[in-house]
């Protein structure tokens, strides 16, 4: 395994790195270094020996070879949004792909070629300019690379599948600093591994996706309820989704009400249930499809209406923005049972931070129609995904908020499938969390692919799969 460097790089070594490298190179004494090493989760505070910002695959090849020759630990940053902070190494070389964010769309072929530094919003804007869309993601500021490599689901996934189900090819730089392409026809085992196995196999420099038609205006928005009504509303929404079409995407969330303009001032800061829905099709058809959900109970506010899809995708970005300390735990539910609802609502009463939330995303339908072994993503039968999102600002509150998230996770475990989401594993979950995300059989298959493409585990700053021995 590559090890972290313990000594600063010499001026001569940096000169070697700059030779043939087109992008920026940042050292710890340079302006912009602290900004570059800072990521979404403010609890992560690491200091790379050097940060490189490649402009293309050739730069990535130079960076990987440089790091390998000097036994520097390598980290890879796309959007920098993973809660565990894998994007930043302490003392090694950080490959920051934020300058590589091109999105090129072929409207006739319904294809998009996307670089690894692109955020989901970049993809949404470029594809929607042609009435097309890539399914995946509930927050537009997440990086497309991490989203894709771990699975990727969003409001459109019940009708269009996971992000990985729409991946057609990948270009990447291997642990040897070589450039390869993976697809169904070329390096198919590697291509299979990249669709849900995380960043274990190389530095991706481009993705090719299949796109789908979607008019730029969709019917979408949140419906907000008093928390006292949450158990009955959650059960009713679950029933309505089962009876409704695939095109309905839904996220239920329990949190303290933000000072949003569509909410009455008297509920700001009070615990509420937000049921956010979107119909992935014609707005007029959406009116009828969403009517049963909008008829449930007596909401405080109903902000569902026609909205540009790309704008709707940004609606909750502020609630998941930069600057907060974060700790997540996740579960998959075979169903949103009465018992699961009871646990979630009971533990929600202990929410302390105004930024903490319990999110519940509806899955199933097209996700479940794909063969279980078609990708490493192993949770296609689950109807719901639950993410416990503890968010706070002060370091001396770490124990309180992390403890709450762990307790909710443990209480909900008897009603869950036992699986977790690779894209949301927290730092303390370690190898056990990776096994829970992938399952034993899939892990073993991935370990075999890992042994072929990265036998020394150079790329280990990720939810790590150890190479088979």
* CATH code: domain of residue 110: 3.30.465.10
464 burial via Cβ count (<10 Å: 0-12, 13-18, 19+): middle
Confidence of residue 223 (pLDDT cuts 50, 70, 90): very high
Quickly count: other Cβ atoms within 10 Å of residue 82's Cβ: 32
Which pLDDT score, from 0 to 100, does residue 80 have? 95
Task: Find the mean pLDDT for residues 381-408.
Answer: 98
SS (H, E, C) the chain: CCCCCCCCCCHHHHHHHHCCCCCEEEECCCCCHHHHHCCCCCCCCCCCCEEEECCCHHHHHHHHHHHHHCCCCEEEECCCCCCCCCCCCCCCEEEEHHHCCCEEEECCCCEEEECCCCEHHHHHHHHHCCCEECCCECCCCCEHHHHHHHCCCECCHHHHCCCHHHEEEEEEECCCCCEEEEECCCCHHHHHHHCCCCCCCCEEEEEEEECEECCCEEEEEEEEEEHHHHHHHHHHHHHHHHHCCCCEEEEEEEEECCCCCCCCHHHCCCEEEEEEEEECCCHHHHHHHHHHHHCCCCCCEECCEEEEHHHHCCCCCHHHCCCCEEEEEEEEECCCCHHHHHHHHHHHCCCCCCCCEEEEEECCCHHHHCCCCCCCCCCCCCCEEEEEEEEECCHHHHHHHHHHHHHHHHHHHHHCCCCCCHHHCCHHHHHHHHHHHHCHHHHHHHHHHHHHHCCCCCCCCCCCCCCCC
Quickly count: other Cβ atoms within 10 Å of residue 324's Cβ: 19
Report pLDDT digits (tens) over 7-33.
Answer: 689 999 999 999 989 999 999 999 999
From the list 63, 71, 75, 83, the residue with the least C-alpha distance to 20 is: 63
Q: Is residue 422 part of a domain?
A: yes
Which pLDDT score, from 0 to 100, does residue 6 have? 42
204: tokens are 């991706």
Confidence of residue 82 (pLDDT cuts 50, 70, 90): very high
Do residues 65 and 95 make contact, with C-beta atoms less than 8 angstroms apart? no
Q: Which residues contact 9 (CB under 8 A, 6 or more apart)?
A: 17, 27, 49, 50, 70
Q: Is residue 342 part of a domain?
A: yes
357 φ, ψ (degrees, to nearest 5): -150, 155
The pLDDT of residue 2 is above 80: no
Given 99, 120, 151, the domain boundary residue is 99
Residue 46 and residue 187 share a domain: no
280: tokens are 């992935």
Beta strand pairing call for 50-53 and 74-77: unpaired
The enclosing domain of 20 has a CATH number of 3.30.43.10
Quickly count: other Cβ atoms within 10 Å of residue 317's Cβ: 16
Which pLDDT score, from 0 to 100, does residue 7 have? 65
Report pLDDT digits (tens) over 347-367.
Answer: 999 999 999 999 999 999 999
Q: Is residue 465 part of a domain?
A: no
Which pLDDT score, from 0 to 100, does residue 5 have? 46
Compare 319 and 326 and report the one with higher pLDDT: 326
Q: For the chain, what is the mean pLDDT?
A: 96
Residue 369 and residue 241 share a domain: yes
Q: Which residues contact 179 (CB under 8 A, 6 or more apart)?
A: 57, 61, 171, 172, 173, 205
Residue 30 and residue 56 share a domain: yes
Which pLDDT score, from 0 to 100, does residue 266 have? 96
From the list 387, 408, 386, 406, the residue with the least C-alpha distance to 398 is: 406
Which pLDDT score, from 0 to 100, does residue 319 have? 87
Confidence of residue 3 (pLDDT cuts 50, 70, 90): very low
Residue 132 and residue 45 share a domain: no
CA pair distance 190, 179, nearest whole angstrom: 13
Residue 310 and residue 338 share a domain: yes
Report pLDDT digits (tens) over 273-324.
Answer: 999 999 999 999 999 999 999 999 999 999 999 999 999 999 999 888 889 9
Which pLDDT score, from 0 to 100, does residue 467 have? 98
pTM (two decimals): 0.96
The pLDDT of residue 421 is above 70: yes
Given 99, 128, 152, the domain boundary residue is 99
Residue 414 and residue 290 share a domain: yes
Residue 373 and residue 232 share a domain: yes
Task: Find the mean pLDDT for residues 395-414.
Answer: 98
Do residues 74 and 39 make contact, with C-beta atoms less than 8 angstroms apart? no
Do residues 207 and 78 make contact, with C-beta atoms less than 8 angstroms apart? no
Q: Is residue 464 part of a domain?
A: no
Report pLDDT digits (tens) over 88-112.
Answer: 999 999 999 999 999 999 999 999 9
Containing domain of residue 303, as a range?
217-427
The enclosing domain of 370 has a CATH number of 3.40.462.20
Report pLDDT digits (tens) over 434-448.
Answer: 999 999 999 999 999
- How many residues make up the chain in this entry? 469
Residue 198 and residue 59 share a domain: no
From the list 151, 137, 182, 187, the residue with the least C-alpha distance to 376 is: 151
Residue 136 and residue 176 share a domain: yes
Given 99, 114, 144, the domain boundary residue is 99
Number of folded domains that form the chain: 3
Which pLDDT score, from 0 to 100, does residue 320 have? 86
CA pair distance 219, 320, nearest whole angstrom: 23
Residue 36 and residue 94 share a domain: yes
Residue 259 and residue 386 share a domain: yes
Q: Is residue 461 part of a domain?
A: no
Residue 194 and residue 160 share a domain: yes
Confidence of residue 252 (pLDDT cuts 50, 70, 90): very high
């Amino acid at each position: 395994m590559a090890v972290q460097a313990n000594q600063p790089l010499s001026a001569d070594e940096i000169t070697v790195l700059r030779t043939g490298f087109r992008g920026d190179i940042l050292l710890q004494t340079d302006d912009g270094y602290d900004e570059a090493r800072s990521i979404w989760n403010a609890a992560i505070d690491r200091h790379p020996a050097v940060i490189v910002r490649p402009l293309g695959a050739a730069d990535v090849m130079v960076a990987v070879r440089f790091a390998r020759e000097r036994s520097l630990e390598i980290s890879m940053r796309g959007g920098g949004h993973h809660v565990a902070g894998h994007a930043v190494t302490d003392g090694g070389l950080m490959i920051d792909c934020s300058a590589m964010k091109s999105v090129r769309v072929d409207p006739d072929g319904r294809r998009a070629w996307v670089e690894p530094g692109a955020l989901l919003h970049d993809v949404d804007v470029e594809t929607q300019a042609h009435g097309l869309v890539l399914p995946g993601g509930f927050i537009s500021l997440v990086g497309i690379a991490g989203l894709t490599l771990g699975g990727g689901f969003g409001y459109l996934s019940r009708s269009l599948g996971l992000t990985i189900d729409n991946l057609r090819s990948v270009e990447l730089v291997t642990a040897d600093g070589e450039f390869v392409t993976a697809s169904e026809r070329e390096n198919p085992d590697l291509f299979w591994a990249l669709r849900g196995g995380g960043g274990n196999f190389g530095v991706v420099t481009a993705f090719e996706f299949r796109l789908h038609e979607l008019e730029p205006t969709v019917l979408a928005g949140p419906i907000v309820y008093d928390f006292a009504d949450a158990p009955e509303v959650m059960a009713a929404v679950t029933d309505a989704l089962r009876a409704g079409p695939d095109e309905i995407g839904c996220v239920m969330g329990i949190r303290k009400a933000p000072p949003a303009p569509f909410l009455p001032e008297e509920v700001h800061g009070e615990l509420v249930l937000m049921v956010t829905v979107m119909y992935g099709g014609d707005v007029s058809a959406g009116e009828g499809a969403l009517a049963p959900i909008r008829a449930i109970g007596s909401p405080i506010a109903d902000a569902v209406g026609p909205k540009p899809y790309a704008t709707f995708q940004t609606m909750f970005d502020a609630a998941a923005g930069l600057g907060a300390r974060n700790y997540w735990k996740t579960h998959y539910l075979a169903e949103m049972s009465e018992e699961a609802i009871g646990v979630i609502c009971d533990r929600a009463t202990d929410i302390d931070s105004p930024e903490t939330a319990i999110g519940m995303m509806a899955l199933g339908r097209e996700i479940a129609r794909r063969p279980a072994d078609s990708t490493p993503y192993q949770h296609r039968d689950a109807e719901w995904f639950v993410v416990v999102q503890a968010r706070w600002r002060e370091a001396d509150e770490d124990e309180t908020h992390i403890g709450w998230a762990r307790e909710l996770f443990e209480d909900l475990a008897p009603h869950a499938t036992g699986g977790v989401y690779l894209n949301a594993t927290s730092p303390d979950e370690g190898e056990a969390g990776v096994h829970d995300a992938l399952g034993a059989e899939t892990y073993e298959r991935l370990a075999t692919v890992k042994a072929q493409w990265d036998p020394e585990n150079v790329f280990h700053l990720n939810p790590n799969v150890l190479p088979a021995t």
